[in-house]
Amino acid sequence: MLHLPKFRKPFLILIFTISLIFISFLFNNFASASLIINSIEFIGQATLPTGLTFQKTEIGGLSGITYDAKNNLYYAISDDRGQKAPPRFYTLTIDLSKSKLTNNNVIPVSVTNLLNTNNQPFLPNTTDTEGIAITNQDTIFVSSEGDVDRLINPFIKEFALASGQTMNTLPIPDKFLPDSQKQKGIRNNLAFESLTITPNQKLLFTATENALIQDGTAAQSGVGTSCRILQYNLLTKQLEQEFLYQTEPVTPLFNPIGKFAGGLPDLVAIDNAGNFLGIERSFTGLGFTVFLFQVSLNNATDIHSLDSITKIDPDKIQPAEKKLLLDLRTLDVSLDNIEGLTLGEKLPDGQPSLILISDNNFNGLQQTQILAFKLKIESPLTKLLRRLRIPNF
């Protein structure tokens, strides 16, 4: 009789685990780099009053934010068009060491002016800086919406973090540029509001806040809009792909003033596999509606060759997939004009934080609002092993 050796249970578990890891590498869509948000927990807010001054500038219009993990600092871009001070970004500390955010946890550290190719501050009314993303080369990328009425083009530029000096400019296709006849291109104040870079520093993404003129209508009460997400290769500094992102229709329950605005103000890459967190924000007359989504481009159709999506069968375009994570109206806070988000520092339990920031429009009736959340994130492989009850998962 053949006697098989008796393997110890830990050894069998090790062999089984190694086999699962090997199989996972055979499937690109099952890579451990692809992350899943399991839960999100609100851990507090801080506010900065409108009119607050710092280093002879008024802090306000903070439309985008990015986190510098190496120095544990945050950089927030102001959309001031040079009317109160030159276009600039602020350096902030946000202390989440106790897994909570209060007013005392946010401290301005410095302010840096953005400089043009002549190493001079941008002239007033030539920029509308909205998005910001940090690199691992001590630089930041900043997006500007330009000004359609003045035929000022949007831009995506790289700036030195320390000096604010212009380093590089990414190309933008003609179909996005303002048109004097307003038959194509971006809509005013509805262009490149978002900006994010993948953790491996290979790709940069931005998106139009609303549809291009030739792609469809702007967001209206009860009607969403067709945004474009743009993917740039940071090695070649070239645009590679574009994807359709459809916003949710929002119908105000009560809108006595009849004003409505909505769209896609920001995205943040959470991995290198085409997954993001994104916010959709609408002004509904008497307040704001803000949704937080997990967004995936994995099955989305590349539309960069299409000058207009209206010239093709809609069924042939697969938009970005979305999963609603949070309707911020359910929070016990009065929402302001949330426009920016970033993954923040690791919390004491090792889970990542998420920071959202609002643009107060330099309006005395508004304030700069910073919201903090705790995320629980895992990879598909970790999720599988946990479901199979593998120890330590």
Q: What is the pLDDT of residues 161-212, one digit of tens each?
A: 999 999 999 999 999 999 999 999 999 999 999 999 999 999 999 999 999 9
Q: Sketch the domain layout of the chain as residue ranges.
A: 36-387
- Model confidence at 28: pLDDT above 90: no
Give the number of other Cβ atoms within 10 Å of residue 164's Cβ: 21
Which of 329, 357, 337, 194 lies closest to 252 in space, CA to CA? 329
Q: DSSP E strands: which ranges in 330-366?
A: 338-346, 352-358
Mean pLDDT for the stretch of residues 94-105: 97
pLDDT value, residue 284: 82
Q: Which of 32-36, 147-151, 154-158 has the lowest mean pLDDT?
A: 32-36
Rounded to an integer, what distance in angstroms lies between the CA atom of residue 172 and that of residue 204? 13
- Model confidence at 26: pLDDT above 50: no
> Which tokens belong to 96?
């989440």
- The DSSP string of 231-279 is EEETTTTEEEEEEEEEPPP---S--TT---EEEEEEEEE-SSSSEEEEE
Say which CATH architecture domain 36-387 belongs to.
Answer: 5 Propeller (2.115)
Rounded to an integer, what distance in angstroms lies between the CA atom of residue 378 and that of residue 294? 13
- The mean of the pLDDT values for the chain is 91
The letter for the amino acid at 76 is A
pLDDT value, residue 25: 45
- Model confidence at 67: pLDDT above 90: yes
CA 145 vs CA 93, 207, 210: distances in Å:
27, 11, 12
pLDDT in tens, 208-249: 999 999 999 999 999 999 999 999 999 999 999 999 999 999
pLDDT value, residue 378: 78
Query: pLDDT over 70 for what percent of the chain?
Result: 87
Mean pLDDT for the stretch of residues 328-343: 97
If pLDDT is split at 50, 70 and 90, which confidence band does 27 have? Answer: very low
